[in-house]
Amino acid sequence: MRVRRAVFIAAGAAAVLVLLIGTPAQAHKEKHTPEQVKVFQEVFMEQVRAGDLLFHGDEAIQKKLKVQLSRTGMACAMCHPFASDNHPHEFPKFQEQIGKFATLRDMINWCIEKPNEGVRIDPDSDAMKALEAYIYWSNRGSKLDPGRH
Amino acid sequence: MAQDERERSELHQVLQGAGERPDRSLGITRRTFLHRSLLAGAGGAASFGWFPLINTLDLSFGALAPFRFAWISDTHLYPRDVNTRFVDKATRAVKEAQAMNPPVDFLIFGGDLAQLGSPVELDLGNEILKDVKARKVFIPGEHDWYLDMGQKWMQLFGQPNWTFDHKGVRFIGLDTVSRGPDYWTVKKMTAEERMGHMATLDGSVAGAWAGVGRDQLEWLDRTLASWAKDKPVVVFSHNPLYEYYPPWNFWVRDWREVQEILRPFSSVTNVHGHTHQVLYNEIGKLRSIGMLATSWPWPYAPEGVPALTKCMVRADPGDPFDGVGWSRLTFNAQGKVDNEYVMWRKDVFAETPTDSGCGDNANQVLHPRVADQMWPSYGAFR
């Protein structure tokens, strides 16, 4: 499935979900069908793909989402191939660079502003959620270890 | 992973042989000391934060005439107006190499001068390197090559593989980047798209591009045929000549064949770039030393870090001069070779797991990316 169709699928997906599982109030009242589970997974993977592109510096998706993650040519993946050294499983924790107790989203914004010299993004934005989805997905199977420095 | 480990173990046993190690005259020591030029007051360092500490790996080759050379690589230059930090760091390394006293006999530039292979980037790098007045030799990196398939690079720097003898040592420069499989023609990629995939370390499209190639293996074999087996050989390559982490091309795919050619020689040192980190490995009688980049440090791969590597410190991502630098190599009067990692901040080697670039990766499990595997965009948002 192409990314374009999917990055902004949230609204459409919500409608599909309502059709498949009823109104939100009815959620979890019925057994899930394989089709429903597939849709849930698709919604997630579309965000992973979008986050993957953002993480690797794709300019078109940044333009579409109205974000500028870097002004130095650096992309997140240049220091974090396979989203390594992101350690999403260790947040929240005291983050030395920021000097405070921080979340993964705080650290993403710190990297955008400092090494990348980009423009900080809204912590609740589509771009942030997509980046978070990609980083978590790439680190799946890592041992949950919050607070570890 | 278990199967990979089994295969590696079997290969290691075959290549290592009974009691086979690098020449016994090769003692290894490590020490840390302040930069001599700064101790002497040169450089105008105003605060302790600018005093680099240098860590040294000593290798002795036996009696040789003393001489020095310097390694700089992985500057990854963008055009000057896009990224000034990379220009500043490349310039600093060049100035420091030029200021070495006694001076270097030659400078080896180990590849990835440019980030996206453009003539502007390569010309900029060539201009910066002109401040080194000593002899310069070059090997290419993949970032230098895949926009125009090495045309501009060769115009500036000549043949990508070469050999010369210097004061009793045979030096060989290998081209480990130009023989990547063709992933662009069928997909009708532009030159910029081809370069973009090659420039993405964790990409899925360019595949196992790092290799020496049959023709160059034959050349290497011929080049060494006339060299005495007990005389020192130093091989420069952009990629390491062993299997560290193939998904990031931290290897050459035909490293087994390379090892077979080098195996009869008792003193072979491979000095390589690409990995942007402190690395040390031995396979059979071959030792490999990984060099720092001037641009940025890569994290250690999630597996395959050689057991003999003393890992470097975790770099501070907020300090562009941390975790990066260049290398100074000295053949001294005792026939020893000092490899000095000139990292521009504080310590080079980690002393505790908490501060180690390897120890930091405990509990981490990683997976390859997905977006660049989708037809027909292959990683581009369309």
- A42 close to B (CB below 8 A): no
What is the C-alpha separation between B253 and B282, in angstroms, rounded? Answer: 18
Q: Model confidence over B251-273: pLDDT tens digits?
A: 999 999 999 999 999 888 899 99
b/e B243-254 (16+ beta carbons within 10 angstroms → b): bbbbbbbbbbbb
Question: Is the pLDDT at B250 greater than 80, yes or no?
Answer: yes
Question: Is the pLDDT at B43 greater than 50, yes or no?
Answer: no
What is the C-alpha separation between B355 and B48, in angstroms, rounded? Answer: 20
Alpha-carbon distance values, A94 to A76, A107, B46 (Å): 21, 11, 32
Q: So what's the pLDDT on residue B78?
A: 97
- A41 close to B (CB below 8 A): no
Per-residue tokens: A64: 């579409």
* Range among A114-128, B95-109, B362-376 rated most confident: A114-128
Q: So what's the pLDDT on residue A68?
A: 98
- Chain A contact probe: residue of B86, B200, B201, B202 with most A CBs at under 10 A: B202
Intervals of chain A under pLDDT 70: 1-28
- Chain B contact probe: residue of A7, A85, A97, A112 with most B CBs at under 10 A: A85
Place of tokens 């290592």: B16
Q: Model confidence over A30-45: pLDDT tens digits?
A: 889 999 999 999 999 9
Query: Can you say how many angstroms the Cα of residue B204 is from the centroid of all Cα atoms in its chain?
Result: 22
- Averaged over B24-50, what is the pLDDT? 35
Closest partner CB to A4 (pick from B203, B363, B381): B381
What is the C-alpha separation between B130 and B15, in angstroms, rounded? Answer: 41
Q: Show residues of chain B in contact with A126, CB under 8 Å.
A: none
Total CB pairs under 8 A between chain A and B: 119
Query: Can you say how many angstroms the Cα of residue B145 is from the centroid of all Cα atoms in its chain?
Result: 16
DSSP notation for B318-356: T-TTSS-EEEEEEE-TTSEEEEEEEESSS-SB-SSGGGB
Closest partner CB to A142 (pick from B203, B316, B365): B365
Q: Show residues of chain B in contact with A87, CB under 8 Å.
A: 360, 364
Peptide bond before residue A92 is cis, with ω within 30 degrees of 0: yes
**Lowest mean pLDDT: which of B141-145, B176-180, B299-303?**
B299-303
Question: Is the pLDDT at B195 greater than 80, yes or no?
Answer: yes
Q: So what's the pLDDT on residue B344?
A: 83
Using CB atoms and an 8 Å cut-off, which of residues 37-96 of chain B contact chain A?
78, 82-83, 85
**Lowest mean pLDDT: which of B30-44, B129-143, B162-176, B334-348?**
B30-44
Q: Show residues of chain A in contact with B361, CB under 8 Å.
A: 84-85
Q: Show residues of chain A in contact with B313, CB under 8 Å.
A: none
Q: Read off the pLDDT band of B111 (50, 70, 90).
A: very high
Per-residue tokens: A6: 């999917």
Q: So what's the pLDDT on residue B253?
A: 96
Q: How many CB atoms sit inside 10 A of residue B31's CB?
A: 11
Question: Is the pLDDT at B233 greater than 50, yes or no?
Answer: yes
Judged by DSSP in three states, B279 sits in: strand
User: CA-nearest residue of chain A to B323?
Assistant: A79
Q: So what's the pLDDT on residue B329?
A: 82
Question: Is the pLDDT at B38 greater than 50, yes or no?
Answer: no
Q: So what's the pLDDT on residue B40?
A: 33
- A149 close to B (CB below 8 A): yes
Q: Read off the pLDDT band of B46 (50, 70, 90).
A: very low
User: CA-nearest residue of chain B to A65?
Assistant: B381
Q: Show residues of chain A in contact with B369, CB under 8 Å.
A: 52, 56, 77, 82, 138
What is the C-alpha separation between B134 and B67, in angstroms, rounded? Answer: 13
Q: Is the dihedral of CA B236, B238, B241, B242 positive or negative?
A: positive
Q: So what's the pLDDT on residue B11?
A: 67
User: CA-nearest residue of chain A to B79?
Assistant: A73
The backbone torsions φ and ψ at residue A93, rounded to the nearest 5 degrees and listed phi first, read -165, 170
- More confident site: B344 or B154: B154
Q: Read off the pLDDT band of B347 (50, 70, 90).
A: confident
Q: Give how far A66 is from chain B: nearest CA, Å.
A: 14
Question: Is the pLDDT at B100 greater than 60, yes or no?
Answer: yes
Q: So what's the pLDDT on residue A30?
A: 80
Q: So what's the pLDDT on residue B244?
A: 95
Q: Read off the pLDDT band of B21 (50, 70, 90).
A: low
What is the C-alpha separation between A71 and A80, in angstroms, rounded? Answer: 17
Per-residue tokens: B372: 């660049």
Q: How many CB atoms sit inside 10 A of residue B265's CB?
A: 21
- Averaged over B205-225, what is the pLDDT? 97
Our separate counts of H helices and E strands in chain B read 9, 13
The backbone torsions φ and ψ at residue B374, rounded to the nearest 5 degrees and listed phi first, read -90, 125
* Contact (CB<8Å) B299/A84: yes
- B375 close to A (CB below 8 A): no
Q: So what's the pLDDT on residue A94?
A: 96
- Averaged over B161-182, what is the pLDDT? 95
Q: Show residues of chain A in contact with B298, CB under 8 Å.
A: 79, 81
* Contact (CB<8Å) B317/A74: no
H helical segments located in chain B = 2-16, 36-39, 84-98, 119-129, 142-145, 151-157, 191-198, 214-225, 255-262
Question: Is the pLDDT at B122 greater than 90, yes or no?
Answer: yes
- B303 close to A (CB below 8 A): no
Question: Is the pLDDT at B194 greater than 60, yes or no?
Answer: yes
Mean model confidence pLDDT for chain B: 84
Q: Are B76 and B238 in contact (CB under 8 A)?
A: no
ipTM metric: 0.84
Place of tokens 């030096």: B171
Q: Read off the pLDDT band of B351 (50, 70, 90).
A: confident
* Contact (CB<8Å) B363/A114: no
Per-residue tokens: B327: 């290398």
Q: So what's the pLDDT on residue A20?
A: 52
Q: So what's the pLDDT on residue B101?
A: 84
Using CB atoms and an 8 Å cut-off, which of residues 185-214 of chain B contact chain A?
200-203
Q: Read off the pLDDT band of B42 (50, 70, 90).
A: very low
Q: Please, what's the largest Cα pairwise distance for chain A?
A: 51
Q: Give how far A101 is from chain B: nearest CA, Å.
A: 17
Q: Model confidence over B269-301: pLDDT tens digits?
A: 899 999 999 998 988 888 889 999 999 999 999
Rounded to 10°, the helix A126-138/A104-113 angle is: 110
